[in-house]
Each structure stands twice: as structure tokens, then as C-alpha cells.
């Protein structure tokens, strides 16, 4: 069999040899320039479907090149490789090896183009820049103040959760965090993210939770509401010592409306239903708890150096007491003096 074009003998595709067939029919093309718009803030890329997280500029460039390839009829792209070299800050030269399958035969062609990188601002970043929000989460402390250490804890928890949610949903972000009288205000881009974080705070801190909406305006002929979630933290937190019914408890944890306490006299654990009406009073807050050097330890007692009087003090050990170093936590209240186990 001979090629009808060049007369060469050998394997034919239709009536032509591979070379002639390739020259005549396998001509993929690409424009001289391929434009790529990248968000200057988050590196997402503008596509037909909107803004998408692609990964790196290199991956974005490959995606844009693939979109711009024009293949000959009946050809299937089996693979393509891109070699990028930077011509200047905004222009990348791309050498492309295109592997095609036509009529069961594989061909490789080389193409050249310039990727022009443009900077833009994606929808979400534009909203963020514009301080867009759909919900406010108000976190308030007890008695109209939010202690400093709690403020930091709450802010860390909120930012962590938002960061985690943002990984699966680009539209979730905090547009503003404001210190206000009595606590913190978090401005959320979506209602659902604000509600979910508010619920979590309620759970973690046994806090009071309220939601309310207010008419904000109209968009596309529909009323648009903004939500406000109020989370009011109780005056008691993990690590505090509280008094209840004449006994004192170390607060080991709080969740789902329950306070998980340890009776400081016996070392027994007790779950206490915790509501606004629980007659629980704060004996000593976590930051007030002292550290005392242990002088000697017996089976039932501990002798510590009282850091306030600098005198030795005998304290009964609660059940299950253990310590890691030569210091222990010391609690002195009106009702008694206790040491806290490091295992709590």
C-alpha cells in the first residue's frame, strides 16, 4: 500500500501515510494569547462557571490552556503537557505537547502560546473587601463584661471554625470582628455559618442562645433579612471552682446544659444540670487559682507552701489525686482549702 500523497510505502491512515495524514488532518490550534484572570487576594481563577479554586497559577494556566485548545474533528485529547516559562510578571510562555488520538492512531503535536495573567478580585473577596455580611454573632460575657482570657478563647474558637468551614465553602468568611462593650461581635458572610458557630459556643460554654432577624432591604424583588445571634456566656467556665448546696466543685467541663464537676472533698465526679436557675456560685475563677510548692506528700495528705502566707499548709488529698511536678494547684475559699489533681 502506498500513500496517495507522497507515495511512501508503509502503515496507512485512510489513504495517507502517518506523516501526510498528520500534516493534513491533525492540526490542533490555540490562540496566540490565552487570558487568565486570577483573584489578587485568594488566587482563585475566573472560569465560565464563575470563580474557582484551582490551586497554583501553574494549574490555573494549564486549565486555561486546556479550555482554549481547538482540536481537529474526530480527534480525542489523550494527554497534554505544558512547559511554562516566565517572560515577565504578567506573561508566561507556554510550550504545549498535545497528544491526540485520531482514528485509533496516536499523534503528538507541539503548540506555543502566551498566557497573559490578569489580576482581578473574585466575588467573595470583593464582598469581603466591601465588608459584606448576612449575620452577626454577638458573644457577651456575664455581668456585662467578657474577661480577657475568655475573649481570646472565644475568638480563637470562632476563627478556627470559620477557617475549617471555608475549606469546603468559599463563601464563608468573617468580614469583621469588633470589640464592643460587654463582649465581641463577629460579622459572618452567611447565616448558616453564624448559626452553626453560635450553637457550638452555646454547647461548649452552656451559654444562653437567642436568634432574631431584622429586615435589611430588598434584593431581586425579595425581602432580605439579616440575622443576629446572641450568645450570652454564664459566669462559670471550665477550670473554675464553684459552690453548690454547701459543697464545692472543680468544673472539669461543660456541655449540653451539663456541668461536669468534681467534688473537691471526695474527688467524686458529678454531672450537674446547669441552667440559668441553677444556684451555683463562683468560688474561684480559673485565673485566681494559686500554684503552691509541695513540701511533702503522705498517703492522705499533702504539705504545701502557702504562697500567700509563705507558711506550710496541710491539705487533704482528694481521691485519685496525682501531680506531675513539684507544684500543685491550691484553692482557698470560705468553705475550705483544697488541692487539685493534675489528672482533672
Q: Which residues bind Zn ion (CB under 5 A)?
A: 3, 5-6, 17, 20, 39, 41-42, 44, 122, 125
- The Cα–Cα gap between 44 and 121 comes to 9
Q: Report, in Å, the least distance between residue 20 CB and Zn ion.
A: 3
Instruction: Please say which residue, 5 or 155, places its beta carbon nearer to Zn ion.
Output: 5
CA distance 191 to 141: 22
Q: How far is CA 201 from CA 18, 156, 188, 254, 256, in A?
A: 69, 12, 15, 11, 10
**Which residue number, 5 or 52, has a Cβ lying nearer to Zn ion?**
5
- Round the CA-based radius of gyration of the chain to a whole number and report it: 34
Distance from C-alpha of 14 to C-alpha of 37, rounded to nearest angstrom: 43
For residue 44, what is the enclosing H or E element? Answer: none
Is residue 193 within 8 A of residue 199, CB to CB? The reply is no
- Is the Cβ–Cβ distance between 198 and 104 less than 8 Å? no
CB 37 → Zn ion: shortest distance, Å?
A: 11
Q: In the complex with Zn ion, which residue's Cβ is closer, 6 or 152?
A: 6
State in angstroms the smallest separation of the CB of 39 from Zn ion: 3
Indicate the length of the chain as a whole number: 344
* Cβ at position 203, least distance to Zn ion in Å: 32
Nearer to Zn ion, 5 or 200 (CB): 5
Rounded to a whole number of angstroms, the minimum distance from the CB of residue 150 to Zn ion is 33
Give the C-alpha separation, 113 to 116, whole Å.
10
Closer by beta carbon to Zn ion, 17 or else 184 = 17
Q: How far is the CB of 74 from Zn ion (least distance, A)?
A: 19
**Cβ(164)–Cβ(200) below 8 Å:** no
Which triple of cell numbers denotes residue 256?
449540653
CB of 121 to Zn ion, least distance (A): 6
CB nearer Zn ion, residue 6 or residue 112:
6
Q: How far apart are CA 245 and CA 232, in angstroms?
A: 25
Buried b (16+ CB within 10 A) or exposed e, 229-247: bbbbbbebbbbbbbbbeee
Which of 41, 161 has the CB closer to Zn ion? 41
Amino acid at each position: 500500500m502506498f500513500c496517495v500523497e507522497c507515495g511512501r510505502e508503509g502503515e496507512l491512515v485512510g489513504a495517507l501515510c502517518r506523516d501526510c495524514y498528520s500534516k493534513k488532518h491533525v492540526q490542533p490550534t490555540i490562540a496566540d494569547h490565552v487570558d487568565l484572570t486570577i483573584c489578587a487576594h485568594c488566587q482563585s481563577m475566573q472560569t465560565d462557571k464563575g470563580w474557582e479554586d484551582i490551586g497554583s497559577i501553574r494549574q490555573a494556566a494549564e486549565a486555561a490552556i486546556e479550555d482554549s485548545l481547538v482540536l481537529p474533528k474526530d480527534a480525542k485529547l489523550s494527554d497534554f503537557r505544558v512547559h511554562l516559562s516566565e517572560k515577565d510578571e504578567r506573561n508566561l510562555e507556554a510550550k504545549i505537547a498535545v497528544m491526540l488520538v485520531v482514528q485509533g492512531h496516536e499523534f503528538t503535536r507541539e503548540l506555543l502560546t502566551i498566557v497573559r495573567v490578569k489580576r482581578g478580585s473574585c466575588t467573595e473577596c470583593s464582598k469581603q473587601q466591601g465588608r459584606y455580611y448576612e449575620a452577626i454573632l454577638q458573644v457577651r460575657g456575664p455581668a456585662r463584661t467578657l474577661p480577657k482570657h475568655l475573649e481570646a478563647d472565644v475568638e480563637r474558637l470562632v476563627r478556627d471554625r470559620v477557617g475549617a468551614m471555608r475549606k469546603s465553602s468559599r463563601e464563608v468568611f468573617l468580614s469583621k470582628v469588633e470589640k464592643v462593650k460587654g463582649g465581641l461581635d463577629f460579622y459572618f458572610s452567611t447565616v448558616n455559618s453564624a448559626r452553626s458557630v453560635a450553637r457550638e459556643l452555646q454547647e461548649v460554654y452552656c451559654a444562653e442562645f437567642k436568634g432574631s432577624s431584622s429586615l435589611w432591604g430588598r434584593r431581586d424583588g425579595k425581602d432580605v433579612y439579616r440575622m443576629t445571634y446572641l450568645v450570652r456566656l454564664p459566669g462559670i467556665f471550665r477550670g473554675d471552682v464553684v459552690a453548690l448546696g454547701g459543697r464545692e466543685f472543680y468544673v472539669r467541663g461543660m456541655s449540653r446544659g451539663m456541668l461536669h464537676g468534681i467534688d473537691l472533698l471526695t474527688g467524686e465526679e458529678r454531672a450537674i444540670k446547669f441552667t440559668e436557675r441553677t444556684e451555683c456560685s463562683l468560688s474561684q475563677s480559673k485565673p485566681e487559682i494559686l500554684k503552691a510548692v509541695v513540701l511533702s506528700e503522705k498517703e492522705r495528705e499533702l504539705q504545701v507552701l502557702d504562697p500567700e502566707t509563705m507558711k506550710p499548709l496541710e491539705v487533704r488529698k482528694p481521691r485519685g489525686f496525682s501531680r506531675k511536678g513539684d507544684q500543685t494547684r491550691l484553692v482557698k475559699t470560705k468553705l475550705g482549702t483544697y488541692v487539685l489533681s493534675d489528672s482533672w
